[in-house]
Amino acid sequence: MKEILCIVCPNGCEMSIDDDGFISGNLCGRGADFAKVEITRPMRTLTTTVKTMFLSAPVVSVRTDSEIPKANIPDVMRFLNSLTIDKKLGVGDAVAENVLGLNSNVIVTGAF
């Protein structure tokens, strides 16, 4: 049996999945859907910062515009740590398009 804490809504349901795939402990259908994905291919939205060349804002906050496989987060972080933004970008502008071929863009979330 596997235990999972749901992160979809504020309820934070503690769910269990048995060897037959039966899910218990969820208070809503979204929790059951989350548990199924979490078992087979966990996905996350990545939020972090990227270096800039501007003294007034040495880093800027960014996030992926869609979920990426949890297993790919270390690779994406290595890639983002190698970047330095050298031009002013606005909120929502892409820092990296289709990052590592994952069909997700990394976008700016904070003004600088």
Which domains does the chain show, CATH number per domain?
Answer: 2-40 (no CATH), 47-108 (3.10.530.10)
Q: What is the pLDDT of residues 11-33, one digit of tens each?
A: 999 999 998 889 999 999 899 99
Query: Which DSSP string do the residues of 19-73 spell out, in sequence order?
Result: TT--EES-SSHHHHHHHHHHHHS-EE--EEEEEEEETTEEEEEEEESS-EEGGGH
Tens digit of each residue's pLDDT (9 = 90 or more) over 67-83: 999 999 999 999 999 99
* Global pTM value: 0.84
Percent of the chain with pLDDT over 90: 91
